[in-house]
Amino acid sequence: MLVVHGPKQATAPGRGAAVTIGAYDGVHLGHRHVIGMLRDMAAPRGLETVVVTFDRHPATVVRPESAPPQLTELDQRLELLASTGVDATVVIPFDEARANESAEDFVTEVLVGALGARLVVVGRDFHFGHGRKGNVELLTEMGERHGFETVGVAIEGDVAGQAVSSTRIRALVAAGDVVGARRLLGRHHEVRGIVVRGEGRGGAELGFPTANLSVPPAIALPAEGIYACWYTRPDGSRHGAAVSLGRRPTFHAAGAEPLLEAHLLGFSGDLYGEPARLAFVRRLRAEERFDSPQALVAQMQSDVARAGDALEADGA
């Protein structure tokens, strides 16, 4: 997949473009449904498929005080978009100027001027431009003048008939329901970070060495608790892990900063400084305070065994 940063670097495909637009945070099953429709409609017309997305979530600029945590970083989002089979992704820098740009100017500059769009496929509730005044109706009207067709796609619901959306997935993740989030994502919720040095207690004192992950603050983390996860190293090797996300109440008073610690099952080695990917499979329990380190160790032994069982059942 070709990745272009900024509309000025984009070259309109000679055979015309079929375009979809959106933040595409998570690239969940609803997003994949829209992109699938885009590809299905583009193929018989001989059009190249293009996703237009943004380098950050627009809410971080428009309403930073209430911007939602993100399901994916930009690099991860681009990897997931590439997996959908689109020909290209154009990443638009989203800043104050872009936030104040009218929907009409966005269409003229990006869809018509930069990409020569012949087909635009978006979700029916899609909004864009200053004040969110752009919608399917505006795209349809401008398409009639500029020579592109607009299709508004209904986002299919899940098995319970509820809409698949990034907002709903964030709520599931925040509640610790990573199994429910997986059903809507079509994959495990994954976070990425760098292994940093922690307090050194896990291996030396408790007998369970951990890799402590520093994750970008804007990324959506699950509710605090103990999880079964898949841990992937830079070389692509994957390891089962029992993961603690929390404030270590057995050793710290209330108010301690949360820490993400992964104990790799059956692994020994130096992970410091490595980037890592952590895919959340199942929440095993809430975080608890124990009366002694020995009681915590007994519980950790149980957690490790349960994590192994959950990962064996997952097998993904």
Report the distance separating Cα 280 and Cα 260, nearest Å.
12
**Structure tokens, 164:** 């698949």
Question: Does 173 have pLDDT greater than 90?
Answer: yes
Return the minimum-mean-pLDDT range out of 50-54, 121-125, 177-181, 247-251. 247-251
> Does residue 47 contact residue 119 with C-beta atoms inside 8 Å?
yes
Q: Which domains does the chain have, with CATH numbers?
A: 2-153 (3.40.50.620), 188-314 (2.40.30.30)
Active site (annotated) includes residue 261 = yes
Report the distance separating Cα 220 and Cα 222, nearest Å.
7
Q: Which residues pair with 78 in a beta bridge?
A: none
CA 182 to chain centre: 11
**Structure tokens, 123:** 């979700």
Helices (H), the chain: 29-42, 59-62, 74-82, 96-99, 103-106, 136-146, 166-174, 178-185, 201-204, 293-314
Q: In terms of DSSP bridges, do strands 275-285 and 225-232 run parallel, antiparallel, or are they unpaired?
A: antiparallel
pLDDT > 90 in the chain, percent: 72
**Structure tokens, 71:** 């399901």
> Does residue 151 contact residue 121 with C-beta atoms inside 8 Å?
yes
**Structure tokens, 302:** 């149980």
pLDDT at 161: 60
Question: Does 63 have pLDDT greater than 70?
Answer: yes
Return the minimum-mean-pLDDT range out of 83-87, 176-180, 266-270. 266-270
Report the distance separating Cα 278 and Cα 182, nearest Å.
14
pLDDT at 221: 96
> Does residue 256 contact residue 245 with C-beta atoms inside 8 Å?
no
Which candidate in 141, 144, 261, 312 is catalytic?
A: 261
pLDDT tens sequence across 240-299: 999 999 876 455 555 567 889 999 998 888 899 999 999 999 999 988 776 666 777 787
> Does residue 262 contact residue 241 with C-beta atoms inside 8 Å?
yes
pLDDT at 270: 85
Closest by CA to 157, choosing from 148, 149, 146, 168, is: 168
Return the minimum-mean-pLDDT range out of 20-29, 156-165, 286-295. 156-165
> Does residue 156 contact residue 76 with C-beta atoms inside 8 Å?
no
